């Protein structure tokens, strides 16, 4: 008898699992539209940004130790990140920790809230697959609203938020919604803020795509507005995409409270959670980013590279949306064209998604999410032709 006899197979990951299948596929014409990473025209692996490489070299030249960071991470990194995300943040009102990418910021934040009186969470439907797993692992009760429908008919979202119990967490994607690409307007954010206040809901922002819709500042408009409005709130921030620094896992968690007195206790609670999970964060990626953000020239160079990524994705989005009109109709293509960031979601059945993979070697997640940078000049018409055949 096996020592563990009730083990269940959780299956492979909804996003990385499909990428693994893609990698095993030997067909030359295969197309990877799975994980949200920036690839350029020739496909292949995401390139390293030149500004980041320079920041990394500066860090390496200065580095004298590989000693542990503190549990909360590097304070210079946190201050620079806070400036980028919030503009002006009163550090006495914020418990800040450096995290292992955005995922551990989300996990730590949700664990902290779960231990401190929160048991329900509102998630958009659809949302990033990992959001659902993180809150499920912490036994949250999940409430959800139809995101695409709700963006168009906003009363659906307002009614949903008003129906939630006091002290429910509301997970809000700051910009470039994953997987749909469809974001709230400023007017909609204002209403969400009002309802969160009225109903005593706790806003938790996921900020993973800053700089991919318009500008760095504009893309954190909602976070800055909620800050101005005096919310107690949290932000999980990731640099994975904006610095294309995926495998270094660079993120941060900010817990902002009106009551300054409670901040040190919150920070110690966060540190307690971190200590038993990963002890303290890694430094190399964060240190390289610090060197970029504190050097005006390098920072400008990074911003120019980021704009280049954004502009290319935007032009792919437009072309893709236009090409979809005769295949999927006006509504579906408008949803593509109105979106921002890496993703769009197109209406395909699971059978159609499987056919695209099996018959054409076109890989996307099971929800019909497409990572737009994968649509290169070479693969674009191939994917369009495959979609036409599937819909014939």
Q: Give the binding site for ligand LMR (CB under 6 A).
A: 15, 35-36, 128, 130, 178
Residue nearest to ligand LMR (CB): 36
Secondary structure (3-state) at 291: helix
- Tell me the closest approach of the beta carbon of residue 35 to ligand LMR, in angstroms: 4
Q: Which residues contact 124 (CB under 8 A, 6 or more apart)?
A: 144, 145, 147, 150, 171, 173, 177
- Tell me the closest approach of the beta carbon of residue 23 to ligand LMR, in angstroms: 15
Of 30, 241, 302, 357, which residue is the catalytic one? 241
- Tell me the closest approach of the beta carbon of residue 309 to ligand LMR, in angstroms: 15
Based on CB atoms, which residue is closest to ligand LMR, 178 or 220?
178
Per the annotation, the verdict on 206 as an active-site residue is yes
- Tell me the closest approach of the beta carbon of residue 36 to ligand LMR, in angstroms: 3
Based on CB atoms, which residue is closest to ligand LMR, 108 or 168?
108
Phi then psi for residue 89, to 5 deg, are: -130, 130
Instruction: Check if the beta carbon of residue 135 is closer than 8 Å to that of residue 172.
Output: no
Per the annotation, the verdict on 241 as an active-site residue is yes
Secondary structure (3-state) at 148: helix
Instruction: Check if the beta carbon of residue 170 is closer than 8 Å to that of residue 161.
Output: yes
Q: How far apart are CA 279 and CA 110, in angstroms?
A: 18
Structure tokens at 87: 């503009």
Q: Is 125 left (phi over 0), alpha (psi -120 to 50) or beta?
A: beta
Of 206, 219, 302, 357, which residue is the catalytic one? 206
Phi then psi for residue 374, to 5 deg, are: -70, -15
- Tell me the closest approach of the beta carbon of residue 64 to ligand LMR, in angstroms: 33
* Cβ neighbours around 391 below 10 Å, total: 11
Based on CB atoms, which residue is closest to ligand LMR, 120 or 341?
341
Per the annotation, the verdict on 128 as an active-site residue is yes
Based on CB atoms, which residue is closest to ligand LMR, 290 or 372?
372
- Tell me the closest approach of the beta carbon of residue 178 to ligand LMR, in angstroms: 5
Instruction: Check if the beta carbon of residue 229 is closer than 8 Å to that of residue 258.
Output: no
Q: How far apart are CA 384 and CA 28, in angstroms?
A: 17
Q: How far is CA 27 from CA 240, 357, 366, 376, in A?
A: 29, 11, 20, 17
CA angle 263, 264, 267 (to 5 degrees): 85
Of 58, 74, 128, 183, which residue is the catalytic one? 128
Q: How far apart are CA 125 and CA 144, in angstroms?
A: 6
- Supply the residues annotated as catalytic: 128, 206, 241
């Amino acid at each position: 008898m096996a020592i563990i006899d009730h083990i269940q197979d959780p299956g492979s990951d909804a996003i990385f699992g499909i990428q693994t299948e893609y990698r095993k596929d030997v067909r030359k014409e295969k197309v990877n539209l799975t994980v949200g990473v920036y690839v350029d025209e020739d496909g292949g692996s995401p390139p390293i940004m030149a500004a980041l490489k320079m920041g990394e070299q500066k860090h390496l030249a200065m580095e004298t130790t590989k000693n542990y960071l503190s549990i909360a991470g590097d304070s210079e990194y946190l201050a620079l990140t806070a400036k980028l995300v919030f503009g002006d943040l009163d550090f006495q009102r914020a418990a800040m920790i450096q995290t292992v990418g955005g995922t551990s910021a989300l996990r730590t934040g949700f664990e902290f809230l779960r231990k401190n009186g929160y048991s329900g969470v509102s998630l958009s439907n659809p949302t990033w697959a990992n959001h659902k797993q993180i809150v499920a692992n912490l036994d949250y009760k999940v409430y959800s609203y139809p995101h695409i429908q709700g963006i168009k008919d906003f009363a659906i979202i307002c009614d949903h938020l008003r129906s939630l119990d006091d002290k429910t967490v509301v997970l809000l994607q700051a910009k470039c919604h994953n997987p749909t690409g469809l974001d709230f307007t400023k007017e909609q954010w204002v209403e969400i803020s009002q309802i969160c206040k009225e109903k005593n809901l706790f806003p938790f922002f996921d900020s993973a795509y800053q700089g991919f819709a318009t500008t760095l500042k504009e893309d954190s408009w909602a976070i800055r507005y909620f800050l101005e409005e005096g919310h107690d709130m949290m932000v999980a921030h990731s640099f994975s995409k904006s610095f294309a620094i995926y495998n270094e896992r660079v993120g941060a968690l900010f817990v902002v409270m009106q009551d300054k007195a409670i901040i040190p206790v919150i920070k110690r609670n966060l540190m307690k959670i971190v200590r038993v999970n990963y002890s303290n964060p890694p430094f190399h990626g964060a240190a390289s980013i610090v060197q970029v953000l504190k050097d005006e020239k390098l920072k400008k160079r990074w911003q120019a590279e980021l704009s280049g990524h954004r502009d290319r994705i935007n032009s792919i989005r437009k072309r893709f949306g236009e090409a979809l009109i005769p295949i999927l109709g006006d509504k579906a293509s408008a949803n593509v064209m109105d979106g921002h960031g890496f993703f769009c979601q197109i209406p395909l059945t699971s059978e159609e998604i499987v056919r695209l993979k099996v018959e054409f070697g076109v890989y996307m997640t099971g929800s019909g999410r497409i990572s737009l940078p994968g649509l290169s000049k070479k693969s674009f018409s191939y994917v369009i032709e495959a979609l036409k055949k599937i819909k014939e």
